[in-house]
Amino acid sequence: MSMSMKKVSTAPRRTKLALAVAAIAVSTTAAVPQAFSATPTAVSTTVVGARVLASVSSLNVRTGPGAAYTRVGALSGGSFVLGVVNNGWLKISSGPYAGRYTSAGYLTVVKPPATAAAGSTVTGWVALTGGIPANVHTAPGFKYTVGRTLASGTAITGKVVDADWIRLNGTGGYVNRGTIETLSANVTSVNGSLPAWALCPVNRAYNSPQPFDPGYTATTRRYLNCNAVRSLDALQSAYKAAFGHYASIDLAYRTYSEQQYWYTTLGPKYANAPGASNHGAGLAVDFQEWEGHTTEFDWGGAGSNWLRANGGKYGFTQPYAYGTDGESYHFNFAG
């Protein structure tokens, strides 16, 4: 799932799981709306999250802020997009059309949700991707049995239990709120393009001491889904109690452009396509795996063994069988 990479190796020591998922599909056959004729006055000086109106089948993306500019693609109705609004146009800041423009007249700005009180109803979609489902527990806690799972993109409606859990309507069962995104039914459009308010900072004390591509250092702030951060803190407390130090982390949330970097650098055999990594959902962590490190997070390493045995108590699970070509250091927050 990850495509972390050793700094010094001449060849990857481990085969990374490849999932050649097509980049965001663009409809070229659906009706294309005419350019927005009025001029919205809304201007944002910072990046906002926006959703293409569901009634729009295909929203043009152009090289500049005007209908006369060349059309380079389109966004499907309901897709999520990040950008800056100016004079009726959104300059896209993340995703396959970063740097391009689309008419703001067909967008609704998505604001940070108010804190959902216990008992309130929430709707959303399973944010996990890459074949990893969200766990549905029989009661609101990681320790309770996983009775079933929900595939990527599954629509859910439920009632808020507390800051971490939702009780599903209908069939019942409990999902961790971190595994559910509420921005768009098109979870691929959300992946790698999360607004800042949908992420929480990871304690820098967990940072790997080694630099890591692209551009990470021992002091770079990492981010994750906020529920995942809370669970990671609990995991790290237990890890430190067992080992005397935290489990070092190379990478957490990855933006679309970071994933593109890895996809371009390593190719589909070793990197998920942009939009198809659980790192892009803020729901994956790569523990330390740089060249010359200790064997702590290798297969059979003390840290890897501990995480495999105990990670599930905090919602973090490894998708690979022991000793396989998968990544010994990669864990998903699947609830």
**Which residues would be at the binding site for Zn ion (CB under 5 A)?**
1-2, 286, 330
Could you give phi then psi for residue 309, rounded to 5 degrees?
-80, -30
Q: Which residue has the tokens 């967008």?
A: 107
Nearest distance from residue 168's CB to Zn ion, in Å?
A: 28
- Per the listing, tokens 């999250």 go with 49
Read off the tokens for 30. Answer: 């659906």
CB of 286 to Zn ion, least distance (A): 4
User: C-beta of 183: minimal distance to Zn ion in Å?
Assistant: 22
Nearer to Zn ion, 164 or 327 (CB): 327
Would you call 209 exposed, middle or buried from its count of C-beta atoms within 10 A (0-12, 13-18, 19+)?
A: exposed
Cβ proximity to Zn ion: between 2 and 103 the closer is 2
We find the least distance from the C-beta atom of residue 204 to Zn ion, in angstroms, to be 19
Residue among 72 and 213 whose Cβ is closer to Zn ion: 213
| Shortest spacing between CB 235 and Zn ion, in angstroms | 16
Integer Cα distance of 253 and 274 in angstroms: 13
Query: Among 81, 79, 83, 82, which residue's Cα sits nearest to residue 91?
Result: 83
Residue with the shortest CB distance to Zn ion = 2
Of 178, 164, 181, 85, give the one whose Cα is nearest residue 124: 181
Nearer to Zn ion (CB atom), residue 51 or residue 279: 279
98: Cβ contacts below 8 Å, ≥ 6 apart: 92, 256, 257
Cβ atoms of residues 98 and 109 within 8 Å? no
**Orientation of helix 302-310 relative to helix 226-243, angle to 10°:** 130
Q: How many CB atoms lie within 10 A of CB 219?
A: 7
Q: What's the closest the beta carbon of residue 287 comes to Zn ion, in angstroms?
A: 9
Identity of residue 322? Y
As measured in angstroms, the least distance from the Cβ of 4 to Zn ion is 6
**Residue 123 or 264: which CB sits closer to Zn ion?**
264
The least distance separating Zn ion from the CB of residue 231, rounded to whole angstroms, comes to 17
State which residue, 160 or 284, has the beta carbon closest to Zn ion.
284
Give rounded-to-5 percent helix, strand, coil for the chain: 15, 25, 55
Q: Say how many Å lie between the first and final Cα of the chain, rounded.
A: 17
Tell me whether residue 93 or residue 208 sits nearer to Zn ion (CB atom).
208
Task: State the DSSP H helix or E strand holding residue 188, giving kind and residue range, or none if neither.
Answer: helix 187-190
CA angle at residue 268 from 278 to 253, to 5 degrees?
Answer: 25
**DSSP-derived 3-state class of residue 285:** strand
- State which residue, 280 or 335, has the beta carbon closest to Zn ion: 280
Q: How many residues are given for the chain?
A: 335
Closest approach, Cβ 2 to Zn ion, in A, equals 2
For Zn ion, give the closer residue by CB, 148 or 221: 221
* Integer CA distances (angstroms), 251 to 155, 179, 192, 219, 258, in order: 28, 19, 13, 12, 11
